[in-house]
């Protein structure tokens, strides 16, 4: 195998959403960098079996918040 065709494989720290950390080897970042997860198996609905609100509302909620008080009544 050619040595220059492969990315550097090194040790990084992974920080879970609950604050726990562990070390693993990866091609992400540089040696010793910390990868902070937004969603992991302890918070993702696919693994927890429940619904967890990721965002507060959506486009419709933002529209209603901004223009909810308007009406066509005189």
Q: How far is CA 73 from CA 45, 67, 69, in A?
A: 43, 14, 11
> Tens digits of per-residue pLDDT, 7-49?
899 999 999 999 999 999 999 999 999 999 988 888 777 777 7
> Tens digits of per-residue pLDDT, 49-65?
765 555 567 788 888 88
For tokens 């990721």, name the residue.
Answer: 54
Tokens for 45, please give them.
Answer: 């609905």
Tokens for 67, please give them.
Answer: 């223009």
Residue 39: partners with Cβ closer than 8 Å, 6 or more residues away: 17, 54
Say which DSSP state 38 is in.
S
For tokens 């550097």, name the residue.
Answer: 8
């Amino acid at each position: 195998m050619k040595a220059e065709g492969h990315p550097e494989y090194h040790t990084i720290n992974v920080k879970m959403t609950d604050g726990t950390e562990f070390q693993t080897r990866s091609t992400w970042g540089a040696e010793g960098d910390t990868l902070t997860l937004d969603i992991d198996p302890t918070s993702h609905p696919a693994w927890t079996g429940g619904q967890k609100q990721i965002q507060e509302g959506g486009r419709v909620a933002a529209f209603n918040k901004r223009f909810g008080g308007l009406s066509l009544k005189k």
